[in-house]
Structure 1
Amino acid sequence: MIDFPTLSMEEAANYLSLPFSQSQEGYEAFLQTILGFYEGHGRQFIWRETSDPYRILLSEVMLQQTQTSRVIPKYELFLSLWPTLKDLAGVALDELLYHWKGLGYNRRALNLRRSAIASREWDWNLPTKQTELLSLPGVGKATAAAIGAFSYRERTIYLETNIRRVLLHCFYPDQEGVKDKELELLLGRLVQLVEDPKAWYYALMDFGVLLKHLLPNANMRSAHYTKQAKFENSNRQIRGQLIHLLSDTGAKEQQQVTTLLSHFEEERVLYCLGQLEKEGFVEETEGTYRIAKA
């Protein structure tokens, strides 16, 4: 069984009894199923062993749309290089992007650094209030809720991909177009019934991973589901190659950039270069482009 080596297919089938009713009895049965699975087969990750808000933020940002196997070595590397928010705030952007390579979605790295810089307002710590966490660059509802639950054991409403899959599968097996607002209301009821929100959300995520391996993707029945666009020959791919080029090999003149990325149309390369400049990744001086210093 992928990710759950101690769990046989026969045992896994025992966890798939459906559906659960939205009643006190149904909620209690659901909790028993999820927590029972987690007690016997929960996964172990280094970021689950800490309550440090910075380490939780780092793991949450890295794990967005990225497999845990790719995150583990990068997470350990980042903490060895920049063990505190203050350390991360002081790193040059080109160095950060160089070490981020392999995780993709480089905007996450940019926002992570900006959040570290902003943490100076709280004496190089993260704020505890959800409203203040949401003011940090790139920190949305899910990330803020994760910090609240995993760092402070608050009963936040933490809805992410795997948790959404569990709720849709277990409580809305035949419904299409289910809105997150409805799922958040359900999560709010459930989290009030658990003693430890941190363990509860880890259990839900692990159960979601189990469902991902066994069944069709229930997230397709979410009202907010969108199929990810292909990466090959996309602007995402061009942007990533531009960032890697400039962070790995230094400043380049425009003609050098377009020549080195000649496998893409020049117009698209220049468009992506302009977008990266607007977003703060890249700066241009007299026709020479480099990773931004600020």
Structure 2
Amino acid sequence: MTSFPQLSAEEASSYLWPPFTVDPASLQDFRTRILNFYARYGRKFAWRETNDPYHILLSEVMLQQTQTNRVAPKYALFLSLWPTFRDLAGAPLDELLFHWKGLGYNRRALNLRKSAKMTEAWGWTIPSDPELIASLPGVGKSTSAAILAFSYQKQAIYLETNIRRVLLTCFFSDREQVKDKELESLLALLLEGVDDYRQWYYALMDYGVLLKQLLPNANVRSAHYAKQGRFEQSNRQLRGQIIHLLSDTGAKSSDELMRILAHFTGERIEYCLSQLCTEGFVQETDGVYRIPRE
């Protein structure tokens, strides 16, 4: 049990509770149990020790579909290289992608830099205006809610993978195809008895991590569940390899890329190069591809 090494198997099993209902007494019982669990076993992360909107956005973007043990060193590295939105806005794209390596989904890094540039209009920060937050590229409902709750202690519906697992396990154990709207309504009810939104959501997430270790994946019962496609030999893998090659070793012709990436077909390499150029990750000049440097 790597996430909670201080919790024995017997102690962990004691945190598998009977189903809860939405009546006030049951909701309060659930809140109390969750917060007591967090008080004893809550995890410590650097991004939980700050309310800086830049730090919160950076951590939330990095944590999307990425394990915390991979994020923690990258989070520290990025803050050492680019301590503020202003610094990140000026980061060369090739350097940004080079240091992003290992986190996957390179589009997130591109959107992060675009967001940093947008914050210049707001004094190099993110205001607590939901509409402005939602205007940031790649920022959806979950990330927007995280900024509101974690930076500004505002009541917001933050539904992410681990929290969804908790609600499905504790309140919808006999249901299939549960829609997020139902879970969001339940979260709104639970928030009515919460004073510290940051602590509450951290507690829910940590309990969700414990449930992941103890039970089959409850998220398969979500109406929005989609199994992730195979990564090996996928276009996602190929795009990542192209970006890493260009950011690690410099510009390459298409012939060089095809020779290095010979385990992929030339047609797929050309297709991915075209995509990456269209999206702004890669620039082509006279048949030579490079990460653009502004």
Task: Calculate the TM-score normalised by the size of structure 1.
Answer: 0.98
CA RMSD across the alignment: 0.8
Residue matched to 1:113: 113
Residue matched to 1:46: 46
Is the deviation greater in 166-175 or in 121-130? 121-130
Is the deviation greater in 80-89 or in 276-285? 276-285
Secondary structure class of the residue paired with 2:17: coil
Residue matched to 2:253: 253
Residue matched to 1:286: 286
- Asked if the contact 1:116/1:124 (under 8 Å) is kept, the reply is yes
Report the Cα distance in structure 2 between the residues aligned to 1:13 and 1:33, rounded to whole angstroms: 14
Deviation at 1:292, TM superposition (A): 2.2
* Equivalent residue letter for 2:157: I
Report the Cα distance in structure 1 between the residues aligned to 2:116 and 2:269, rounded to whole angstroms: 30
Report the Cα distance in structure 2 between the residues aligned to 1:62 and 1:180, rounded to whole angstroms: 23
Deviation at 1:233, TM superposition (A): 0.4
* Equivalent residue letter for 1:137: P
- Asked if the contact 1:2/1:213 (under 8 Å) is kept, the reply is no
Residue matched to 1:194: 194
Structure 1 residues not aligned, in runs of 5+: none
Check if 1:128 corresponds to 2:128: yes
Is the deviation greater in 169-178 or in 3-12? 3-12
Is the deviation greater in 10-19 or in 169-178? 10-19
Secondary structure class of the residue paired with 2:103: coil
- Asked if the contact 1:155/1:192 (under 8 Å) is kept, the reply is no
Report the Cα distance in structure 2 between the residues aligned to 1:73 and 1:188, rounded to whole angstroms: 34
Superposed, 1:93-172 pairs within 5 Å as 93-172=93-172
Is the deviation greater in 284-293 or in 128-137? 284-293
Secondary structure class of the residue paired with 2:47: helix
Deviation at 1:220, TM superposition (A): 0.2
Secondary structure class of the residue paired with 2:15: coil
Report the Cα distance in structure 2 between the residues aligned to 1:277 and 1:193, rounded to whole angstroms: 49
Task: Calculate the TM-score normalised by the size of structure 2.
Answer: 0.98
Report the Cα distance in structure 2 between the residues aligned to 1:268 and 1:174, rounded to whole angstroms: 44
Aligned length: 294
Structure 2 residues not aligned, in runs of 5+: none
Deviation at 1:141, TM superposition (A): 0.5
Report the Cα distance in structure 2 between the residues aligned to 1:133 and 1:292, rounded to whole angstroms: 27
Residue-by-residue CA offset, 1:95-122 (whole Å, 9 max, x unaligned):
0000011111111101000100111110
Report the Cα distance in structure 2 between the residues aligned to 1:127 and 1:71, rounded to whole angstroms: 25
